Amino acid sequence: MEIEFRSGFVNLIGLPNSGKSTLLNALTGEKMAIISPKPQTTRQRILALINEPTFQIIFSDTPGFIEQANYPLHQTMNMQVRLAFEDADVILLVIDSTLPCNLSESFLQMLKDSSIPIILCLNKTDRGKDNHVNEIIPFLEDYQLPIKSIHKVSALQQTGISELLEDIKFMLPVHPAYYPDDILSNRPVRFFISELIREKIYQLYDAEIPYHTFVVVENCKGVDEKKEMAIIDAFIFVGKQSHIPILIGKQGSKLKELGTKSRLEIEQYLDQKVYLNLSVKLRKDWRNNSTFLNKSSVFQ
């Protein structure tokens, strides 16, 4: 008997810092999304594919839903979460099990209004003493969300991942593959390089600096040709003049550290030697500029 091929879109939804990006990386076995302990690290949807002889899973990592979306940037991020309901075959609702269930009424209503089946994924369950699983499950069940199954996982420790994947495969519709089987993501190499640099910004800088920066890769030579050394020019844009000296550091020390750590990460990602040139530029108050956000590479 011939096995029917299954293919579909599985969209990860949740609050900031629930571990969606770490879970995406664990599910795909690749570094498809950057991670940091700071909330709001993910700003835009990223498609990541798993291709096997009998199925294709198209995962979509979305920004964490922000209840108080005060900036146009936050509103744009929330819009991407809402758009994720339009093409999903399965919703993977990721919740941090170390915290009490603090999903807002509007977020819960968004889930309830959707007819898309939900897999509830309770993440970070390896932290036993901080576990709120016994409170979260009945709360969500009482709200009558269309939850089809529940999984307790640790994306960081990669426990419960194989069982979750099996459940996801079972819930995919019978459908031909949407993408060629040699595609891992819909994003170009430049996007991932810029994200790796931004990840290091989140790791190296405190306070508001990471939230007021975005990265654009201007030139990326030698990557496609797999030359001995790739030459990459990238701009780090900041929203305030006062952020420039903080980002650069005394005698350029902080920017140099950022460049070194970013280069090493990019070399590992590309499996190639890299010459990385980082520059800092000012783009005043870019988070509040809706026109800029819609047209710029920040959300392309």
Q: Say which range, 11-15, 23-27, 171-175, 222-226, has the weakest mean pLDDT.
A: 222-226
- For residues 109 and 144, is the Cβ–Cβ distance under 8 A? no
Structural domains present in the chain: 6-171 (3.40.50.300), 189-299 (3.30.300.20)
- Binned at pLDDT 50, 70 and 90, residue 241 comes out as very high
Q: Is the pLDDT of residue 91 over 90?
A: yes
- For residues 133 and 166, is the Cβ–Cβ distance under 8 A? no
User: Which pLDDT score is estimated for 300?
Assistant: 47
Q: Is the pLDDT of residue 269 over 60?
A: yes
- Give the residue among 87, 72, 92, 118 at the shortest CA–CA distance from 19: 92
Burial 130-149 (b: 16+ CB within 10 A, else e): ebbeeebbeebeeeebebee
Of 149 and 103, the structure prediction assigns the larger pLDDT to 149
- For residues 113 and 145, is the Cβ–Cβ distance under 8 A? no
Which H/E stretch holds residue 213?
strand 213-221
Question: How far is Cα 142 from Cα 121, in angstroms, rounded to an integer?
Answer: 17
Report pLDDT digits (tens) over 67-76. Answer: 776 666 667 7
Average pLDDT in the chain:
84
Side chain identity at 211, as an amino acid letter? Y
Pairing status of strand 90-96 against strand 46-52: unpaired
Q: Say which range, 3-12, 34-43, 143-152, 154-163, has the weakest mean pLDDT.
A: 34-43
What six digits make up the tokens of 198?
């931004």
User: Which pLDDT score is estimated for 119?
Assistant: 95
Question: How far is Cα 22 from Cα 18, in angstroms, rounded to an integer?
Answer: 9
- Paired with 278 in beta bridges are 234
- Binned at pLDDT 50, 70 and 90, residue 104 comes out as confident
- For residues 250 and 205, is the Cβ–Cβ distance under 8 A? no
Of 37 and 32, the structure prediction assigns the larger pLDDT to 32
Q: Say which range, 6-10, 51-55, 285-289, has the weakest mean pLDDT.
A: 285-289
* Full 3-state SS string of 13-72: EECCCCCHHHHHHHHHCCCCCCCCCCCCCCCCCEEEEEEECCEEEEEEECCCCCCCCCCH
Q: What's the angle, vertex CA 124, arms to CA 60 and CA 173, rounded to 5? A: 35
- For residues 273 and 227, is the Cβ–Cβ distance under 8 A? no
Report pLDDT digits (tens) over 168-199. Answer: 999 999 999 998 888 777 778 888 898 899 88
Q: Is the pLDDT of residue 201 over 50?
A: yes
